[in-house]
Chain A
Amino acid sequence: MKLIQAERDTLLKPLQMVTGIVERRHTLPILSNVLIERKDDKISFVATDLEIQIATYAEDGDTVSEGYAVTVAAKKLQDILRALPDKTQVTLETDESRLHAKAGKSRFHLQTLPAEDFPKFPVGSEPQAKITVKQKELKHLLSMVQYAMAQQDIRYYLNGLLLLTEDNDIKVVATDGHRLAFALMKLEAPQEKREVILPRKVVLELARLLNDTDESVTVEILQNQVRFSFSSVVLVTKVVDGKFPDYNRVIPAGYQKHFDINRQLLLQTLQRASILSNEKFRGVRLILTTDNLRIVCNNSEQEEAEEELELHYDGEALDIGFNISYLLDVLNHLSGETVRCAFGDANSSALITIPGNDDFKYVVMPMRI
């Protein structure tokens, strides 16, 4: 039975959208498959890892046959399509147990699994909150904090990102227990207070899928689920069940010692110094005196890097150590011209913000070297 005939990209684009979440190794074979389903003139592609489900559509003008549904190995089909020359016409056909992809003189026969076994999970209907923003705004918001998420931490709720709606704000928070990033965005309409933790994988996937355009994305918070709808994609994820740490208590206020500095300048200086930081500890010392910042790194071979920066600083002298990776992370992901670094004492956390802007805060613990 002929499923579809289309140009390569018509199939490849939606396939690439959904395969990001497909795990390569799975105990359940059907999870490495993509569900291809046709209803009327829409062909939908669905992939899932039982936590996240992504669906997208391909438009197809001609109505070749009646509806169908089949599942096939997602990565393999994607690799085949990608390896075909551009603009090739591809035909997909099925018989009982196989899917045949034909393009020019190439023939591929892939094994299929029954579509009714595909574990699509039910999506709740009643949204508790619904926000519509521009795609590029959401993408930017996530990129400000997502690098601070924990990775495989035993406190599973840290392996994700807190998404929070309150009044006119949408806030995102990520932390790995050593540093915390916070960002917020203003909305037009006031919202009810809602709090969910998005899994790490979803955040990374959204960062990949969202476009830098003014097109809108709709975020719906459902019972234990969150649905993102944008372009032709619908992504549904279960939320992480857990209590995220109270970020308000972690973000310090009223620090008197601070300086403003050009972000690029500080970033480049730290990058240079980091070459000679200990590859295990990644320690760096910041030594602040009046109008002067000295940056010192050394490694286990007793090699040392020393940098000096002139800046405006009139607070008390301070000698404080950090994990240099945590500083590089935040400087790399900000976009503004200037950053402000504020300190308490050598043992309390440091706060990095953008001067004149309360929408971003980054808190990092010092390291006692």
Chain B
Amino acid sequence: MAIGATQGVIMPLRALLEKCLMNAIKLLPDLLISQIAAGEVVERPASALKEMLENSVDAGAADITVQLVQGGIKLIRVMDNGTGISKEDIPLALARHATSKISTLEDLQQVVSLGFRGEALASIAAVSRLTLASRRAEQKHAWKVQAESGRLSPPEPVALASGTTVEMHDLYFNTPARRKFLKTEATEFSYCEETFKRIALSRPDIGFTLQHNGTVRRHLRAADPRSRIAAVLGDEFSQTSVLIDEQAADLRLWGSAALPAYSRASRDAQYFFVNGRFVRDKLITHALREAYRDVLHLDRYPAFVLFLEMKAESVDANVHPTKIEVRFRDPRALHQFVFHAIDKALATGQPASRGSVLATGDQEHKPNDRGNTDMAINEKAGAEFSGYPRQGVMSLKSYISPEPPAAAQPQAFYSALFGVEDDGLKSAQTVLDIHTAGTRAKEPEVPPLGFALGQLRGIYILSQNDRGLLIVDMHAAHERLLYEKLKSALDNHTLAMQPLLIPATFYADSLDIVTAEENSDSLSELGFEISTFSPTMLVVRSVPVALKNADVVKLARDVLSDIREFGASQALTSRRNELLSTMACHGAVRANRMLTIPEMNALLREMEVTERAGQCNHGRPTWFEISLADLDKMFMRGK
């Protein structure tokens, strides 16, 4: 019996092996190719939805409706009022490597649409039952085709308003192995909803509707970006976030970043768009994390919706099957830029909601009629695209122009909001400046943090300003003031280096050694002197004076790995800041220390001019405001 059982196992293996050895190389059937491609692109209903939505966006739709049944497993239907596809092009739309979006290598390098591979519909069609119905405005009626396992039905007429409707039935009906990987209906729906949110955030000028099992889950009217962010992420987010608009050379970063008070326990509210495309990039994440480090508790995650705009040719989106990763041409500069933009915004940060400038501005965001734009396979499209203006930071006028079927950034709308509407985008002035300037001009007498009234149990300072009551945590506030002072004192100081009498040697891998050799200049700017000791060892000869008692080898390793990964290292600064933070904490006034009114006022005035005074060194808030209106509500006055 035992022998038989063993043979039973061995036989199929051997058979398989023989089959592999004997078979000659041959081309795979078309359907199989598509199914393999689909394996990468269509991972779950949400990824199919992403492709379908991106097509609708690229088609210049002004209104997109998504209908899901059973979390998208049974049915995903995306209906748009975009340009539509002509009857002749419909079969091509479902063919592999057929697209209207690019036509040459140059187009690929400067691609501005979300899609460009021409694979999405073909891949989806390979693993589901797909129906595509579309009508161009000038056509009398729509045409539809059905695809099942890669076989197309002939086009037949159907009734449809202009635009395109794509239906995906029974995902993975022909690949049962894949079907087993699907999660429950609720989980799949939540993935779909996340995809929907990402696309909706990136294009506030388009109206979106999401239905699940017949009920409307989300309905987003075309709006200005701020309202769209509020509609998608909730009012709380938009009220506790700062607006960012920074520009340097060919880069522009704008959007909202939540203040540390609105931090999250997970990474769920992090939306970063590069040229209108949602990405999860290691470099960007690191830069943001570093920017938040000083104000955020370690196991909290920042929340943000940020749009990075750069020349299409300095970013390569063709890296990852679902395009969630991108590659930047100059990662070091980008890291620095993002870090400083966010750092600066957080340093001055006051929640945007405290101003009125942020009202929606002149509503330039009426849905554009781009009905004549062509999404579909149009031979002329290529020519059109090459004539499309390509500037580093694209002027919004070009986006409003009806022609390009671009993955247009919602720039016009953000610009309107941010008060930099004339196409220059020259002014890198932040809204914050405008905002605070405005407030100050209005009430010159009462400072933002008001005048102290007294002290509450030796812990809190009570203060009143023109809006109401302020409660300030005295220790936390003072701690931050001292910390910022220590930091700026050290920042202004030239970096002193302590050469080591007994240099520290350590074993390093060849990557570290190359990094140390290539970056010796930037290392010495940081106060480090690292040289090669032997082919496998590095030696640290000098360290920054402020860190002379730290674990030299560990510090060197941290710095090297940071430089290798991100081109720059904040490791030293953050170690130094830890030390300063402890010093500040010990130096700050403790609870139960009685302060006089002039002392309290002095503290408040100092807070107003200190960066990041809104959070203590550990990321807790230092003050709260209770407006008169809130107080009135508590006492039911005026009801």
Mark A residues whose CB is within 8 Å of B.
Answer: 153-155, 158, 175, 177-180, 245, 250, 278, 280-281, 283, 300-301, 321, 323, 347, 349, 363-369
Contacts and interface: CB of A to CB of B under 8 A. Distances in A.
Interface size of B as a range: 20 to 34
Nearest to A246: B502
A365 B501 contact: yes
A155 B504 contact: yes
A250 B501 contact: yes
Interface of B: 489-490, 492-494, 496-502, 504, 542, 545-546, 548-549, 551-554
A368 B490 CA distance: 15
B490 A300 contact: yes
A205 to B, nearest CB: 23
Given A280-B490, A281-B545, A177 B501 contact: yes
Given A154-B551, A154-B553, A280-B546, A364 B494 contact: no
A178 B494 contact: no
Nearest to A301: B489
Contacts of A363: 501
Given A365-B499, A366-B499, 16 more contacts: A153-B549, A175-B501, A175-B502, A177-B501, A177-B502, A178-B548, A250-B501, A250-B502, A280-B545, A280-B546, A281-B545, A300-B490, A300-B492, A300-B493, A364-B501, A368-B497
13 contacts: A175-B501, A178-B501, A179-B501, A280-B546, A283-B496, A300-B490, A301-B489, A321-B496, A323-B545, A365-B500, A365-B501, A368-B498, A369-B494
Contacts of A154: 551-554
A367 B501 contact: no
A365 B551 CA distance: 18
Contacts of A301: 489
Given A154-B551, A283-B545, A178 B490 contact: no
Contacts of A178: 498, 500-501, 548
B496 A281 contact: yes
Contact of A367 (B493, B545, B549): B545
Nearest to A249: B502
Nearest to B529: A368
A321 to B, nearest CB: 8
B501 A349 contact: yes
Given A280-B546, A281-B496, A245 B502 contact: yes
Nearest to B493: A300
Contacts of A347: 499
Contacts of B502: 158, 175, 177, 180, 245, 250
Contacts of B500: 177-178, 365
Nearest to B488: A300
A301 B492 CA distance: 10
B498 A323 contact: yes
A367 B553 contact: no
A365 B498 contact: yes
Contacts of A250: 501-502
Contacts of B501: 175, 177-180, 250, 349, 363-365
B488 to A, nearest CB: 9
Contact of A177 (B489, B493, B504, B546): B504
Contact of B496 (A179, A349, A369): A369
A180 B501 CA distance: 8
Contacts of A283: 496, 545
A68 B326 CA distance: 79
Contacts of B545: 280-281, 283, 323, 367
Given A178-B548, A300-B492, A367 B497 contact: yes
Contacts of B549: 153
B542 A281 contact: no
A103 to B, nearest CB: 41
Nearest to B497: A368
Contacts of B546: 280-281
A211 B553 CA distance: 41
Contacts of B490: 280, 300
A367 B492 contact: no
A287 to B, nearest CB: 17
B284 to A, nearest CB: 33
A235 B597 CA distance: 60
B504 A368 contact: no
A180 B500 CA distance: 11
A235 B496 CA distance: 43
Nearest to B498: A367
B553 A281 contact: no
Question: In this complex, which of A179, A250, A363, A367 has the most chain B Cβ atoms within 10 angstroms of its Cβ?
Answer: A367
Nearest to B485: A300
B489 A300 contact: yes
Contacts of B499: 347, 365-368
A355 to B, nearest CB: 23
Contact of A368 (B496, B552, B554): B496
